[in-house]
Structure 1
Amino acid sequence: MFEYHGWVHVLSTPEAIDPEPPLPLTEIRDAVEKLAGTGLVDLRAINGELHLHLGGYADEADHRPAELMREIGRLAPGSYGLLYIHDDEDTKNDNSFQVYRLARGWVTEHADWLLSPIVPALEDAWDE
């Protein structure tokens, strides 16, 4: 199974104030439509600031949510957020979440230590 959960506070630049310079909203919406994956996606303004929330659970790996984080970083380099991914078919990380961190236009990948290792932190081992 492939599971992902993430959020992004979308800002045009690290210096952005009330939103100057303006966000490229058309390009951001197009990227969300193309790359959000097949799960839940919510892009909306909250108290005058643009936010993205996404999550899903699929039978196969879907790298579009991580690509979306990179694209938002390119379009709006002041954005920041986190994306947690678990792919149980990834032989290197099948028992852990990977965290994609978006900050100042760059996405970096990190090992999770809050929810991982999944067995035993979240689930019991299967009896075989």
Structure 2
Amino acid sequence: MFEYHGWITVRETAANDDDEARLRQIVDELRRHIAQMDSPYLLDLRWMNGEPFIHLGGSSNHRSSPDVAELFEHVAVVAPGSYGLLHFHDDEEPDRENEIQVLRLVRGTVTQHREALLSPYIPTVEDPFTG
């Protein structure tokens, strides 16, 4: 299983003085990109209080559908001032199947980290299998 929950604050630059017209162009491009992902799960881009945000979450049988890590990489390229986190558990990832992982997007870079508050998955989140 691949379970994930995340958010991104979309910004053109880290200076927090984005040109509104340019930011709207970026959001339109991201909206098209998200539409092509065709995800049956939570994948929402909307304006709130004058700023664009992406929220996503879901649980699929395998990591590749939808490719949410690729979305974070794409946002890093087209809107390098953006920031956000994606928490995920991938029970098929060798040597990390018992960990919650975090993708961190900041200043145009995506990095992967172990989530210390929820790892190890067993016994922190679930009891060990006893059957």
Pair in the same fold by TM > 0.5: yes
**Residue in structure 2 matched with residue 34 of structure 1 by the alignment:** 36
**Residue in structure 2 matched with residue 20 of structure 1 by the alignment:** 19
C-alpha separation in 2, matches of 1:15 and 1:106: 16
Cα separation, partners in 2 of 1:85 and 1:95, compared to 1, 3 Å:
same
Deviation, structure 1 residue 36: 7.1
- Asked if structure 2 preserves the Cα contact closer than 8 Å seen for 1:37 and 1:64, the reply is no
Q: Which aligned segments of 4 or more residues in structure 1 are displaced greater than 6 angstroms? A: none
Deviation, structure 1 residue 114: 1.0
**Residue in structure 2 matched with residue 4 of structure 1 by the alignment:** 4
- Identical amino acids, percent of aligned pairs: 43
Deviates more, 1:26-35 or 1:99-108: 26-35
Q: TM-score normalized by structure 2?
A: 0.89
C-alpha separation in 1, matches of 2:53 and 2:3: 21
What count of residue pairs does the alignment treat as equivalent? 127
Report 1:85-104 matches (<5 A). Answer: 85-104=88-107
Q: CA RMSD in A?
A: 1.5
Letter of the 2:56 partner, please give it. L
Q: TM-score normalized by structure 1?
A: 0.91
Deviations 1:47-105 (A, max 9, x none): 00000100010111226101000101111110000001111111211111111000001
Return 5+ residue gaps in structure 2 as ranges. Answer: none
